[in-house]
Structure 1
Amino acid sequence: MKLILCLICLTWFFTAFNKQIKKHASIFYIITVLISALTIFVPHDMLPAPVVMFINKILVRGVFQGAIFIIVMYVAVLPSKSQLRIKLSKVRGEMAIIAALFTLIHNISYGKRYFMLLFTDISALKPYEAAAAVLSICMIILLVPLTVTSFYTVRKKMSGKNWKKLQRLSYIFYALLYLHIVLIFSRGLFTKKLTYLVDIYIYTLIFGIYAALRVIKYIKKKANAKVLKGEADIKNFNAPAYIKNKTVLSTAVFSALMLGVCIYSTYIYGSAGINSDVRTKNEKTAEDSDAGKAKAQNKVSENTGSDQKDMPDQEDIQSTAKGFKDGEYEGSAIGYNGKLIVSVVVEGGAIKDIKIVKHVDDEEYFYDARDKVIQSILEKQSTDVDSVSGATTSADAIIKAVKRALGEIK
């Protein structure tokens, strides 16, 4: 839904201000770079909450940049006489440059973790995370020449033929962009969040329709070329029928591919729900089993209570020895995007379990920080653990929240 809103707003912006953007392109580039720099380097606690939300949900995640790239790629397949195409065509190169400059935000924000791990410790990445990181690097490599040659001063020094050949790399870029998006949203499907499934449907529809329209345009161009060059027998060559047959075939192929991606995404989403239910059932069974054991132990204690009247309580001994008092406690801290709440269970003087009750941080960072930090605390039975490289803010927030739950800090 954020993508649709960005597409509407950006389409209006570029059509309404196409003359100003064309005339003062360098000013818009400078503004784009400044926004990117401020987004990356200015501490978020110095910014208003709505600005932080826009940065984290729209800019850092690449929704804003992706929307501009989508507009750029659709300009070429819009009806040639439409006013929308005429206005957007005037600033197509400028839009591509602005989108490329804004990608600095996304690449630096995520690259400082995923690119670093890709080259230093690839085993720390999930397979789809490693694949997404590789695709990102490939896109950056493609984006550099595409962006440089979009500048008017560079473009006018190239022959039209060579420039067009180079710009064909954009088709590969768009394909990699779509695959990258699907891989990233796959994590969301495993967390059973419906928004990610809807997003995959929307992106699949947008990129699928574009691909079909691009192929259809190529078919029409090829048919017209056959007639103009005399390669086809004009008497026997029926251009409309040729175009229609090829169009139906290409549309059917892309429709099947789109349907396949949607079915696969729905299956992953559904499977995640089943696995979640199984885990919940197993956890409940384990809890019931523990409760039964505790009940049996209490019964034994009641029968032998007279022998233990003068003995100190075992839980008090463990609590004193390890420094934790039995019970379930909650603590909170401020994460990357907002408040984070944890629940800490202490049994027998030891930290038994840590659960995340609430968080609003980005999943791509948060889940890795959660898994590593909680595991470290449980293993060491201490909150004196290391943070997680690339997800420092989320990791530090979890550690701080656990400390507050245990009363180590206020």
Structure 2
Amino acid sequence: MSFLISIIIAIFFVVVFRNFIKKHSKLCYIITTILSILLIVGTYTGTISNLPSWFTNNVYPILIKSSFSTALFVIVMYTGAFKNGSSLVKFLMPIRAELSIIASILTLSHNISFGKNHFVKLFTAPQTMAPNMFIAAIISILLITLMIPLMITSFPSIRKKMGAKKWKKLQKTAYLFYALIYAHVMFIMVPIAKSGILDYKVNVLVYSIIFLTYAAMRIHKECVKKGLSKPKSLAPIIAATISFALINGYAFYN
């Protein structure tokens, strides 16, 4: 449920602040960095618990568990899956790089905050970790390794220095990055969802629908681009993907 809420908040955030983000991107990066530092310090020192309950119960989990930053990444990745020249692409493309940088900064705060336990255990006492958390931690390191170059090269000045060919080649690693996000989340959430916690059940289902639909859309777009299939409505593909996720979700939980 928290991820679905994060998606809604992220969409609202983009719609309301689109122009501000584009005009004042550097200020947005500074604000995001300050917020991330405060989250890290608050987590390490425990001062977060002294804040009002509405923040610690509703806002803090979405930020520190990377639900909101992942929702921003979802908007970034879907921008590349929509039909070129569509109204959504025209609306989102001008701030795609900025959203990616903001999401990356927030994600780093998540990694640093949770790393004080999981990364320490991974490198000092991996045998004490549950198998799913051990794999999730390794995937997290891979994600950071991919994310940092993608974030740095999202800055226009760096992009210009790289050249179009090298930049496009590097950006293709984003597909692996998105796939690993989904894998990371599933390794963490599926075991908890199996225990019967509704929030995690809903999260697993929402993540699956969103990421599998994206994969179907992106593959379809690439096939059309290479002339392997004729352009047609994506509705049947999306419907089939959602149905697949729902059917498998039902089988998984029953």
**TM superposition score normalised by structure 1:** 0.56
Question: Which amino acid in structure 1 is aligned with residue 142 of structure 2?
Answer: C
How far is 1:9 from its partner?
2.6
Alignment of 1:248-397 (within 5 A): 258=245, 262=249, 265-266=252-253, 270=254
How many residues end up aligned between the 2 structures?
Answer: 249
Question: Which amino acid in structure 1 is aligned with residue 38 of structure 2?
Answer: L
Pick from 143, 147, 154: which aligns with 1:143? 147
In structure 2, distance between residues paired with 1:56 and 1:187:
23
8 Å CA contact 2:21, 2:28 repeated in 1? yes
How far is 1:44 from its partner?
1.4
2:27 corresponding residue in structure 1: 27
1:75 corresponding residue in structure 2: 79
In structure 1, distance between residues paired with 2:194 and 2:17:
41
Question: Which amino acid in structure 2 is aligned with residue 110 of structure 1?
Answer: F
In structure 1, distance between residues paired with 2:84 and 2:119:
41
For structure 1, list consecutive stretches of 5 or more residues without a partner in the other structure.
Answer: 224-238, 271-410
Question: Which amino acid in structure 2 is aligned with residue 53 of structure 1?
Answer: N
How far is 1:32 from its partner?
0.3
How far is 1:61 from its partner?
1.4
1:119 corresponding residue in structure 2: 123
Q: Deviations over 1:348-385 (max 9, x none)?
A: xxxxxxxxxxxxxxxxxxxxxxxxxxxxxxxxxxxxxx
8 Å CA contact 2:4, 2:203 repeated in 1? no
2:230 alignment partner, SS class:
helix
RMSD: 2.6
8 Å CA contact 2:64, 2:109 repeated in 1? yes
Alignment of 1:100-249 (within 5 A): 100-223=104-227, 242-243=229-230
Q: Deviations over 1:180-205 (max 9, x none)?
A: 11111123224321221121111111
Cα 1:120–1:23 shift into 2, 3 Å:
same
Percentage of identical aligned residues:
37
**TM superposition score normalised by structure 2:** 0.88
Query: As a proportion of its length, which structure holds more helix?
Result: 2
How far is 1:55 from its partner?
4.3
8 Å CA contact 1:149, 1:163 repeated in 2? yes
8 Å CA contact 2:29, 2:102 repeated in 1? yes
Cα 1:113–1:264 shift into 2, 3 Å:
farther
Query: As a proportion of its length, which structure holds more strand?
Result: 1
8 Å CA contact 2:133, 2:188 repeated in 1? yes
1:150 alignment partner, SS class:
coil
For structure 2, list consecutive stretches of 5 or more residues without a partner in the other structure.
Answer: none
Q: Deviations over 1:48-87 (max 9, x none)?
A: 2212223442112111111001010011122334333212
Dislocated runs of 4+, deviation >6 Å: 247-253
8 Å CA contact 2:25, 2:98 repeated in 1? yes
In structure 2, distance between residues paired with 1:131 and 1:84:
36
Cα 1:264–1:152 shift into 2, 3 Å:
farther
8 Å CA contact 1:211, 1:254 repeated in 2? no
8 Å CA contact 1:155, 1:163 repeated in 2? yes
In the alignment, does 2:51 pair up with 1:47? yes
Greater length-normalized contact order (CA 8 Å, ≥ 6 residues apart): 2
Greater Cα radius of gyration, structure 1 or 2: 1
Q: Deviations over 1:328-352 (max 9, x none)?
A: xxxxxxxxxxxxxxxxxxxxxxxxx
- After the TM superposition, which of the residue ranges 52-61 and 89-98 deviates more from structure 2? 52-61
